[in-house]
Amino acid sequence: MIDPTHVSPSPSMQMTDYHSRRLGISFASVGAHLGWVYLAGEIVYEFGRTEKEEWLRSLVSGQMTTLVRELEFMEPKSLGTFSEGGRDLKINIIRLPEGEVPVFALVVQEIEPELSKRNWEDLSNQVLTFCATGISLREKNLLDFPTIIEPIRKKIDRSLTKDLPAGVIAFFHLQDLSPFFKPLGVVKSQEILREVTATLHKETKENEFNFQLNPRSYFLFCPGETLDGANHRFGSLYFPSKHLILDYKLKIFPIDREILADDSRFSAIFIENF
């Protein structure tokens, strides 16, 4: 039998009860008998229980590579149906719009009714807030990094050319925002994160790109830029958010193909600044 009161975040997320409950309420509000959150192929949150857990895990893991490669953002995909406890249940999985790291939400619910686009959007917002907050509280785990940084490495490699053989990564480590999350609530917390991202987008030129590892760690890759040039550009940058000016530390790292090819040197940039 499915127990909809069972909520279990991954120990690696070190998640607060507040955000766990909020996400549990979101799964319950869309009629989920079972809900899982996948971050980079790892289940980091479980809502509800099923007698067919092992079968369901195998069903998803067997398709994960294809889902990462082919499933479009916010397009629910049916993985089939099964019966349990006298109920006919359907399995849907959806990929959420979260940049470089694949995030999926799996929902098991009764055959009818279908979830609306608004239902999926509301659930997506809660899941991404959970992941963003949880990642910021994770311990540094070397096993997480290959999955997280490999897409970044490939994108940087594609950005380097014969004319632009090197560049820099500007790392912005913001003050701890977690004290704001609970008193402000989910909506206001998301607004703070969006404003930080918007500030970086304004500073990002056409041939550059930025990426976020967690609510405190933001990187901007600038092909063709020098250390002196990056210091001049970003030395006086500030992040306004409502009535706050967020404090941050700035570090700048040179990048070329020699560094990209050296796993230890490239990974060290992210491990030390996660």
Residues 47, 85, single domain; the answer is: yes
**Closest residue by Cα to residue 90 from 110, 71, 75, 66:** 110
- Indicate the residue among 86, 119, 137 that finishes a domain: 137
CATH code (residue 30): 3.30.450.40
- In this prediction, residues 89-110 reach a mean pLDDT of 88
CATH code (residue 234)? 3.30.70.270
Q: Choose among 61, 152, 170: nearest CA to 106.
A: 61
Does residue 2 belong to any structural domain of this protein? Answer: no
Inter-residue contact 256 to 226 (CB < 8 Å):
no
Residue with tokens 């306004």: 240
Domain boundary among 86, 114, 137: 137
Write down the H helix ranges in 211-256. 227-234
Q: Which residue has the tokens 């917002």?
A: 125
Q: Count of domains in the chain?
A: 2
- Contact call for residues 83 and 89 (beta carbons, < 8 A): yes
Q: Which two tokens stand for residue 157?
A: 């490699």
Residue 69 belongs to a domain? yes
- In 3D space, the residue among 270, 266, 265, 257 whose CA is nearest the CA of residue 167 turns out to be 257
**pLDDT tens digits, residue range 159-190?**
999 999 999 999 998 887 667 666 666 566 66
265 and 181 assigned to the same domain:
yes
> Is it the case that residue 86 has pLDDT exceeding 70?
yes
State how far the Cα of 259 lies from the Cα of 41, in Å rounded to an integer: 27
User: What is the residue range of 202's domain?
Assistant: 145-272
Cα dihedral angle (116, 117, 118, 119), rounded to 10 degrees? 50
Q: Which two tokens stand for residue 107?
A: 């929902």
In tens, the pLDDT along 202-231 reads 889 988 988 877 667 888 999 999 999 999
